[in-house]
Amino acid sequence: MEGGRCAQVSSVPGSPSTGRKHRAALILARGGSKGIPLKNIKNLAGVPLIGWVLRAALDSDVDSVWVSTDHDEIERVAKLWGANVHRRSPEVSKDSSSSLETIQEFIRLRPEVDVICHIQATSPCLHPHHINEALQKITHQGFSYVLSVVRRHQFRWEELQENEDRNPTAFNINVAQRPRRQDWPGELYENGSFYFSTRKAWESGLTELGRIAYYEMPPEFSVDIDVDIDWPVAEQRVLRFGYFGREENAAIQLFLCKVSGCLTNGQIYMSVSGEDLVTINARDVAGIQMLQKENIEVILISSANESLSRGVLEKVSQRAGCGLSFTEQRNALDLQKLMDKRKLCWAQVAFMGSESEDVEIMSQAGLNGVPSDAPVAELIAAKYTCQRAGGQGAVREFAEYILSMKRKSSREENHERIDRHNF
């Protein structure tokens, strides 16, 4: 689980006792949504939408991370991902409530906060360095208000009323001398990713902003779910440009997968002779082979309380073409011996589980995943929640995710930059 990295307000750097300004990241996540119900916690590429920005905020230089919400389920998800929760009042939870009103309520209750980093939950391609670089404009360069922008190459025209009989005016283009995209620097637009400001500016209702600065984000990181009409398109963008946490730099060398509920659907069939029978999906077997081709060892794990017989488990591992390990309790301590033998640390291990007894291992592994029907999803913020159920391609899906992380970590930093010179 990704919790534990966000310290409580009373003990973090930046509290009044230290003399340093306290920087708080604040994500507003009201339960009501006109378009997509509970959009803020809807899974985007296997992760709750709010999880993408929480992961970036938790790995940034802010002192505390808060989610302001009026909804029990959003509160549960926020806490699982390591955030503090501000339970907003009904007065600022209406459809007509503004972000400013909600932020002002938050700072009234948090006198220790000096800088508020208002981050939009609908910007899943935000990275920690975006937060840090924008924050430095306030903490080191003396600005009072910083907003995120993106450069766009769009020609704007005047809008006419239906009864107007005249030509529209071009605002930023000479029609007779239309520039090439590569020769035109474009214009800056708010992208809605974040708004950082000092406490004083928020308290004034943003009427006394002082020095204002903008932070330009490259267009590949500027994804706004509020305006992206196609959720699958947004998923492809975030898989390519999103921030996957500190673990994305760790090379996964071992994949541990539970059999029941992950590789199988948890059902056991019995033959007339009393033998146990299970089914495994050919796509899952192919996923295991994909990992092995990339030199990632795959081991199926089982414990003493496994419902399947040892003979059946051995047949499953043989059919899948991977190793099988029996543990007494299936806990982190038992698996540590297996890792020590291979001289691996937890950051190099991916784990797929499905039950509450798997939570301890999942919280240790560098990458973890659960099938879509796993009860454990209610207990831990899985780093990847499959769209497929156990025994129905979930292992293949998670294997593809592991390999995508491997490809992502091997890319050069600016390999996929999108700008007017590379379009």
Residue identified by tokens 């950051």 is: 347
Other C-beta atoms lying within 10 Å of the C-beta of residue 121: 26
Distance of CA 167 to the CA centre of its chain: 47
Strands 187-198 and 145-152: antiparallel
Contacts with 139 (C-beta within 8 Å, 6 or more apart), sequence order: 21, 23, 115
Contact 368, 383 (CB under 8 A): yes
Give the C-alpha separation, 90 to 86, whole Å: 12
Other C-beta atoms lying within 10 Å of the C-beta of residue 292: 15
Contact 219, 418 (CB under 8 A): yes
Give the C-alpha separation, 245 to 383, whole Å: 9
Which residues are marked as active site? 178
Q: Phi and psi of 105, rounded to 5°?
A: -65, -40
Total H helices, total E strands in the chain = 11, 17
The dihedral through the CA atoms of 369, 254, 259, 320 has a sign that is: positive
Token digits of residue 184: 């035109």
Q: What is the three-class DSSP state of 218?
A: coil
Which helix (H) or strand (E) segment holds residue 136: the answer is helix 128-139
Amino acid at 89: S
* Radius of gyration in angstroms for the set of CA atoms belonging to the chain, rounded to a whole number: 25
Of the candidates 326, 293, 285, 264, the one whose C-alpha atom is nearest the C-alpha of residue 406 is 293
Which helix (H) or strand (E) segment holds residue 409: the answer is helix 394-410
